[in-house]
Amino acid sequence: MTHLRTQAVHAGQPPDPATGAIATGIAQTTAFAFGSMARGADLFSGAQAGWTYSRSGNPTLAALEAKLAALEGGEAAVTFGTGMAALSAVVLALLNPGDELAYLGPLYGGAESYFTDLCRRFGVSAVELRKGDVERGLSPKTRVLWVETPTNPTLQLHDLERVAAAARPRGIVTVADNTFCTPCLTRPLSLGLDLAYHSMTKYIGGHGDATGGAVVGPAPLIERIRKTGLDHLGGSLAPHTAYLFLRGVKTLPLRMTAHCDNAARIAAFLDGHAAVRRVHYPGLAGHPDHALARRQMAGGYGGIVSLELARPGRAGVAAFLDGLRLFTQAVSLGDVNSLACHPASTTHSFISAEARQRQGIGDDLVRLSIGIEDADDLIADLRQALEAVARSEEPLPEQRQLAPT
Ligand SMILES: *Cc1c(COP(=O)(O)O)cnc(C)c1O
């Protein structure tokens, strides 16, 4: 079972040995019967393996964790109720006051705000590394290096092999946020990183109906993260939601192919459009990281396309976004349906204007999450919305010179 499409369907989900049920059951229970006082004590001391309480573990979650570990090529996985709960678990499991967390931005806005605001309050400093200059930013205090590729929402790539090579000799734990690529496009563990991180809310679930997070990596690290994140922080995934992810992830490789194909066509369409100043998509030959993307991403360049409108200012962006009919204006991404948002006023509004400026998240930037609809329909929608921007630039009727009658 070495191919991703096979693993997505089968890994972690054999038929139920007791009933033969081919779908994985939802273990909708808080606690699990010990059977005897002696077994209860053994389960808690670790002398016997088994289930005790759903905050710490549950068979439905375990099936999902086994599948994610297989897909990412890791030893073990742990799931959480959201991506941010998973991030919290990693940070609080691996860092102590006085330690440093280094990151290669731009990051998902919530992650960056967690690192720069919350970490600081607990005595952990966050250091943003310059792209292409990982080595110089690391210090003897650096314990964790967090990298997101491609970055949200500007779609730059970071070289994961280089990140791993810089961190490994220094004993720094590397985490790749693999939400955008999914294991279909990039497998960070195979490139030498320690942990692969996911907001499952996005492509893993894929249907816009469930929030979740996951971390995959070596068993001892995952055990530490599990203890902190579930036993202490309590950010556990609900069994019913785990079932939705188990169902969604079966089609992940098929969906990713459709997302990538559609996004490539849309990026090419936008790239040639007069109303568009710039398109950010790693699949475009003119993208600054295209060569790295060809090396690091397999089978496609992802489903996210960002663009800057030729007309500067928020009014043009509003005319474009409000003109879309098939794309839904919402945050989140990775759904089967196409979504559009304005990062500066939504997902990245929590980080400072100065940081946004530095990271290239301008007021004219729009992020599109390309769904699996028909590409021609999506392009037609974008075309008419771009025409709406052009119309909005025309002077209002009362401002026009009145023609002589
Ligand atoms: C959404 C997202 C997160 C946070 O996950 P939630 O499930 O929303 O808590 C982290 N990283 C990236 C890249 C994301 O897109």
Share of the chain above pLDDT 90, in %: 86
Region of 46 on the Ramachandran plot (φ > 0 left; ψ -120 to 50 alpha; else beta): left
- Out of 155, 198, 199, mutate this one to test ligand 1's pocket (max ligand atoms within 8 Å of CB): namely 199
Instruction: Please answer whether residues 183 and 3 qualify as being in contact, where contact means their C-beta atoms are separated by less than 8 angstroms.
Output: no
Specify whether 55 is catalytic. yes
Q: What was the pLDDT predicted at 403?
A: 47
Q: Which of 5, 39, 55, 278 is catalytic?
A: 55
Enter the tokens of residue 312: 């500067």
Q: What was the pLDDT predicted at 27?
A: 97
Q: What was the pLDDT predicted at 105?
A: 84
Give the pLDDT band (50/70/90) at residue 351.
Answer: confident
Nearest CA to ligand 1 atom 12: 108
Cα angle value 224/296/192 (rounded, 5°)? 35
Give the pLDDT band (50/70/90) at residue 358.
Answer: confident
Please state, in angstroms and rounded to a whole number, the distance separating the CA atoms of residues 124 and 92: 10
Mean pLDDT along residues 46-52:
96
Q: What was the pLDDT predicted at 398?
A: 56
Instruction: Please answer whether residues 136 and 128 qualify as being in contact, where contact means their C-beta atoms are separated by less than 8 angstroms.
Output: no
Q: What was the pLDDT predicted at 404?
A: 47
Instruction: Please answer whether residues 130 and 102 qualify as being in contact, where contact means their C-beta atoms are separated by less than 8 angstroms.
Output: no
Q: What was the pLDDT predicted at 395?
A: 60
Q: Which of 67, 202, 255, 356 is catalytic?
A: 202
Give the pLDDT band (50/70/90) at residue 294.
Answer: very high
- Out of 201, 209, 369, mutate this one to test ligand 1's pocket (max ligand atoms within 8 Å of CB): namely 201
Instruction: Please answer whether residues 199 and 171 qualify as being in contact, where contact means their C-beta atoms are separated by less than 8 angstroms.
Output: no
Neighbours of 316 (CB within 10 A): 22
Q: Does the pLDDT value for residue 212 go beyond 60?
A: yes
Q: What was the pLDDT predicted at 396?
A: 55
Percent composition of the chain: helix, strand, coil (DSSP 3-state, to 5): 40, 15, 40
Mean pLDDT along residues 211-215:
98
Q: Which long-range contacts (CB under 8 A, 24 or more apart) does 320-325 make?
A: 320/366, 320/385, 320/386, 320/388, 320/389, 321/366, 321/385, 322/388, 323/384, 323/385, 323/387, 323/388, 323/389, 324/381, 324/382, 324/385, 325/381, 325/384, 325/385
Residue with tokens 């025409």: 387
Higher pLDDT, 386 or 390: 386
Q: What was the pLDDT predicted at 129?
A: 94
Query: Which ligand 1 atom is the nearest neighbour of the CA of 148?
Result: 13
297-331 pLDDT, tens digit per residue, is: 999 999 999 999 998 888 999 999 999 999 999 99
The DSSP result for 117-157, as a single string, is: IIHHHTT-EEEEEBTTBHHHH--TTEEEEEEESS-TTT---
Distances 149 to 23, 108, 287, 290, 355 between C-alpha atoms, Å? 34, 10, 14, 13, 18
At 397, the amino acid letter reads: P
Specify whether 202 is catalytic. yes
Query: How many CA atoms lie within 13 Å of 13's alpha carbon, on the beta-carbon side?
Result: 24
Please state, in angstroms and rounded to a whole number, the distance separating the CA atoms of residues 120 and 339: 33
- Residues 6 or more apart whose CB falls under 8 angstroms from that of 324 comprise 340, 381, 382, 385
Specify whether 108 is catalytic. yes
Give the pLDDT band (50/70/90) at residue 215.
Answer: very high
Give the pLDDT band (50/70/90) at residue 40.
Answer: very high
Taking alpha carbons only, the member of 167, 26, 18, 173 closest to residue 91 is 173
Name the average pLDDT for the chain. Answer: 94
Q: Which of 103, 108, 114, 197 is catalytic?
A: 108
Range from 65-69, 312-316, 400-404 carrying the lowest mean pLDDT: 400-404
157-189 pLDDT, tens digit per residue, is: 999 999 999 999 999 999 999 999 999 999 999
- Out of 88, 104, 108, mutate this one to test ligand 1's pocket (max ligand atoms within 8 Å of CB): namely 108
Give the pLDDT band (50/70/90) at residue 397.
Answer: low
**What is the CA(199)–ligand 1 centre distance, in A?**
5
Give the pLDDT band (50/70/90) at residue 131.
Answer: confident
Please state, in angstroms and rounded to a whole number, the distance separating the CA atoms of residues 225 and 174: 14
Query: 177 CB under 6 A from ligand 1?
Result: yes
Q: What was the pLDDT predicted at 405?
A: 45
Specify whether 363 is catalytic. no
Distances 314 to 130, 198, 215, 368, 381 between C-alpha atoms, Å? 29, 31, 37, 16, 20
Nearest CA to ligand 1 atom 5: 83
Q: What was the pLDDT predicted at 28?
A: 98
Please state, in angstroms and rounded to a whole number, the distance separating the CA atoms of residues 254 and 8: 10
Mean pLDDT along residues 267-275:
96
Give the pLDDT band (50/70/90) at residue 122.
Answer: very high
Q: What was the pLDDT predicted at 394?
A: 67
Q: What was the pLDDT predicted at 106?
A: 87
Instruction: Please answer whether residues 92 and 228 qualify as being in contact, where contact means their C-beta atoms are separated by less than 8 angstroms.
Output: yes
